[in-house]
Amino acid sequence: MLFHGSVDETKLSVPCGRMKTVMAKPILVEVSVKHVHLCEADLEILFGETHCLKNRKDLSQPGQYACEERVDVIGPKGVLKNIAVLGPLRPSTQIELSMSDCRIAGINAPIRESGDIAGSAGCKIVGPCGKVEIDEGVIVAKRHIHMTPEDAKELNVENNEIVKVEVQSDIRGTIYGDVVVRVHENFALAMHLDTDEGNAAFGGTVGYIVK
């Protein structure tokens, strides 16, 4: 699930310091809390046959939404309760956690881009109608920026390029490295961090690619 708002470009300053800004175009920074993407087969086991996901709230990325459905994720050491399901359905079930979440549950999840789940961690998922045990699918999502081809051209970056992003904050501004650029015509410009990473910037919601 994502917490986000709008960016008012007229009220933003260009970051300064040792690093030089590539472009003064602001990037919305969103914090993605732990969540689950389900495949159709697992959805039916967890919530019943013919069950359809119920859209509770549209997210910033077109076609993506937070659902009313919730599940528990069980690891070797603990339970993460009431985790949001995001829609639409995916070909394979995927769970995105922070490192702190992984420590609570005892899950040794790798840092991966979304969709790269081969050989990742497993867990049990419990819903109101049943439970599923997956051998792989649990990851810590690599921090990333969604953008359109037009955004990429303006920011002078390419798909899969690794960049640094300065996130502005009144209390604790932060520069994040190892941010992967993801370009697609259906994306909306936004950087996604997990809760551990978002806490580091103490609520900063605007970022700039820097060199």
Nearest-angstrom CA–CA distance, 6 and 8:
6
Please check the confidence at residue 60 and state whether its pLDDT lies above 80: yes
Our count of domains for the chain comes to 2
For the cut 60, the answer to whether the pLDDT of residue 211 exceeds it is yes
Residue 20 confidence (pLDDT) above 90: no
Summarised one tens digit per residue, pLDDT across range 127-143 is 999 999 999 999 999 99
List, in order, residues 6 or more apart from 49 with CB less than 8 Å away. Answer: none
For 29-51, b/e burial (b = at least 16 CB within 10 A) is bbbbbbbbbbbeebbbbbbeeeb
CATH number reported for the structural domain that contains residue 17 in this entry: 2.40.40
Over residues 12-35, the mean pLDDT reads: 71
Q: Look at residue 153 in the predicted model and tell me its pLDDT.
A: 95
Same-domain status, 103 and 192: no
Considering 116, 141, 166, which residue would you say is the last residue of a domain? 141
Percentage of the chain lying above the pLDDT 70 cut:
89
> Based on the domain organization, do 42 and 25 belong to the same domain?
no
pLDDT at 56: 97
For 173-186, what is each residue's pLDDT tens digit? Answer: 899 999 999 999 99
pLDDT category of residue 23 using cuts at 50, 70 and 90 = low
Query: What is the model's pLDDT at position 202?
Result: 85
**Whole-angstrom distance, CA of residue 94 vs CA of residue 209:** 28
Rounded to 5 degrees, what are φ and ψ at 115?
Answer: 95, -20
Do 40 and 58 belong together in one domain?
yes
Res 135: pLDDT: 98
Mean pLDDT of 21-25: 65
- One domain, residues 19 and 119: no
pLDDT of res. 143:
97
Residues 21 and 72 in one domain: no
Are 188 and 130 in the same domain?
A: no
Whether residue 128 is found in the same domain as residue 206: no
The pLDDT assigned to 169 comes to 83
- Are residues 69 and 108 part of one domain? yes
Structure tokens at 139: 């990851």
* Cβ neighbours of residue 59 closer than 8 Å, sequence gap 6 or more: 1, 2, 4, 65, 66, 86
Residue 99 sits in the same domain as residue 153: no
Domain enclosing residue 179, as ranges: 2-31+143-210
Q: Which two tokens stand for residue 43?
A: 């959805």
Domain boundary among 141, 164, 195: 141
Same domain, 26 and 99: no
**135 and 147 fall within a common domain:** no
Residues 40 and 103 placed together within one structural domain of the fold: yes
**Distance, CA of 126 to CA of 153 (rounded, Å):** 44
Binned at pLDDT 50, 70 and 90, residue 172 comes out as: confident
% of residues, the chain, pLDDT over 90 = 82
